[in-house]
Amino acid sequence: MAKEKKQPRPKAETPKGFRDYFGAEVEDRRAMLDTIAGVYHRYGFDALESSGVETVEALGKFLPDVDRPNEGVFAWQDEDEQWMALRYDLTAPLARVYAQHRNDLPTPYRRYAMGPVWRNEKPGPGRFRQFYQCDADTVGTASMAADAEICALLSDALEAVGIPRGDYVVRVNNRKVLNGVLEQAAKVIPYPEGDNRRQTIEAAWSEVTRDAILRTIDKFDKVGEAGVRELLGKGRLDASGAYIDGVGLEAAQAEPVIRFLTSKGADNAETLANLLGAVGESETGKAGVAELGEIADLLAAQGYGPDRIVIDPSVVRGLGYYTGPVFEAELTFEILDEKGRPRQFGSVAGGGRYDDLVARFTGQTVPAVGMSIGVDRLLAALRAKGRLDRSAGGPVVVTVMDRDRMADYQAMVAELRNSGIRAEVYLGNPKNFGNQMKYADRRNSPIAVIEGGDEKERGVVQLKDLILGAQIAENATLEEWKERPSQVEVSRASLVDEVRKMLASQSENDA
C-alpha cells in the first residue's frame, strides 16, 4: 500500500494586494471614521450599511477610471448561477438601495456610508486591492445647493480630522463645461463643405474619440500644456523615448480644450469668465458655467472662500463618470517620498454629480451628488505630518509577582477597568519579572502595577511610570533620576486615583 502523501502546510502570507492592520492602525482608522461620521451626522446625513456583496448586474459598468470595468471586480457565480461580486465602491450599492427602498426613504435622501471596498486591479506601492472609503451622498435633488453642501461637508471633515486651512483645497469643476468645450471643438473644422478632410474629422468625433480626449486631458498635470497639445494631435515621445499615438485632432480643434484647461484665473469670477470664453456658443457649456457660479455664490454665503474651496478647471479625473459638477480635495503640503525627495501629497477625496446611476434600475433619471474620502490615504497624510493623536497608548499592565494570588491581581484590574482605565493582567509565565517588563514595553503600556508579598502585607503597590522611565533612561543625568523617580509607592486603596494622576501627568508632558 502506497504511503499517503502529506499535504504541504499552507504558507502564512497575506494574499497579493492585501495587508493586515494592527493595534494603533486600527484605532487610528476608527477614531478618524468616528470623527468624520460626527461631521456627516451634524449635516443631517443618516448612516447606511449595505451589503459588501452585490450582483454584477447591480454593480454595472460604472467603475470609474478603469477602461474595462468588469475586469476590476472580484466576482463569482453562486449556486443559482447568478454572478455576484464584492462591491468596488459605496456609490453603486447606494443606487441599488435607493431604487429598491425609494418609497420608504425621504426625498431628498442624505446618507453616509463607511467600510471596505475591493478592486481586482494590479497592486502597487501604497495601492491595495482592499481599502476603506467614507462616503456622503444626496439622492433626489438637482439643486446646486446639494453640490455646495457636499463641498462644505468635505472641507469641514478634513479640518475635523486635523488638516488645517492652508494645507488643503477643494477644487470644483463641471462635466457640462467640458462637454461644451468638446461641442465647440467639434465645430472648429477648418475645411469647406465637401472637402474629404472635413468629412474625415467629422467622422472621427465618435464616443471613442471623446473618451480619448478625456483620458488625454487627465494627463494635463503630468505633461503640461505642450504635452496635451501633442497628445491631442499626432502624439508625442514620453520620457522613456516611446512614442504615444495622439487623438488626431487638428490644432484648431485642440485649441478650445487647451483654453479650457488653462482658464484658471486669479479668482473665481475670472475663472468663470474664462470658462465662458472656452465653451463659446455651447448651451451645455454655458449651463455648466452657470452651475459653477451658483455653487461659488452659495459657498461664499456660508463663509467658504477660495482659500478652502475654489473653481478649478484642472480637475478632470472621473469626468467620464460624472454628469455635472465634480470635486477633488487635494492636500497642498509637502512630504518626503521613499527616496527622500519632497513632493505634494495630492488628492485624498473626490466626487461629483451622477444623475444617471439610479436610472439603471428605475428607468427614470434620479439626480444625485456625493463624494468619497480615501481613508487610508488621509491616514497616511496625517502620519506623514505627525498629526495623529497618539495619546491612546497601550493598557496599564498589572504584573504577577505570585501566581497563587491571581485573584488579587484580577481584582486590581477590575477596579481600573470599572473606572474607565484600560488595563490587563500579565498572563504569561510570571517567573521572570524582566519578561513582564519587556511585554509591557511591547504593549506600549504607560504604567506597570507591582505588588509582591511585602507590598501586600503593607497595603501598598508600586506604580512604575514606563513613559517617564524610558525618557529618563534615554536622556536624563543621574541627578535627574533622583529628582524625577519613575517608580512610586502608593496605598493599595488609592490605586485608581494614583494611576489616573500618573496618566494625566503623562498627557501633560506629551502636550
Q: Is the pLDDT of residue 328 over 80?
A: yes
Q: Can you name the residues that pair with 353 across neighbouring β-strands?
A: 369
- Contact between 114 and 157 under an 8 Å Cβ cutoff? The reply is no
Q: What is the largest CA-CA distance in the chain?
A: 108
pLDDT confidence band for 476 (50 / 70 / 90): low
What's the pLDDT score for residue 158? 96
> In terms of pLDDT, which residue wins out, 49 or 8?
49
pLDDT confidence band for 75 (50 / 70 / 90): confident
Exposed e or buried b per residue across 14-48, where buried means at least 16 C-beta atoms within 10 angstroms of its C-beta: eeebeeeeeeeeebbbeebbeebbebbeebebeeb
Lowest mean pLDDT among 133-147, 304-318, 479-493: 479-493
Q: Is the pLDDT of residue 268 over 60?
A: yes
pLDDT tens profile 401-422: 998 999 999 999 999 999 999 9
> In terms of pLDDT, which residue wins out, 475 or 488?
488
Residue showing cell 429598491: 100
Q: Is the pLDDT of residue 70 over 80?
A: no
What's the pLDDT score for residue 68? 45
pTM, rounded to two decimals: 0.82
Domains of the chain, earliest start first: 15-140+354-390 (3.30.930.10), 164-332 (3.30.930.10), 396-510 (3.40.50.800)
**Quick one: which of 317, 445, 434, 407 has its CA closest to 371?**
317
CA distance to 209, 212, 313, 386, per residue, from 247 (Å): 7, 6, 21, 44
Average pLDDT estimate for 250-264: 86
3-state secondary structure of 16: coil
**Quick one: which of 232, 224, 290 has its CA closest to 262?**
224
Dig out the grid coordinates for 434 from the structure: 524582566
**Residues above pLDDT 70, as percent of the chain:** 87
What's the pLDDT score for residue 303? 95
Q: How far apart are CA 421 and CA 496, in angstroms?
A: 8
Peptide bond into 190 cis (omega under 30): no
Beta-carbon contacts of 181 under 8 Å, excluding residues fewer than 6 positions away, are: 256, 257, 259, 260, 278, 279, 282, 285
Dihedral (CA of 50, 348, 275, 147) sign: positive
> In terms of pLDDT, which residue wins out, 153 or 122?
153
Q: Is the pLDDT of residue 69 over 50?
A: no
Average pLDDT estimate for 49-55: 94
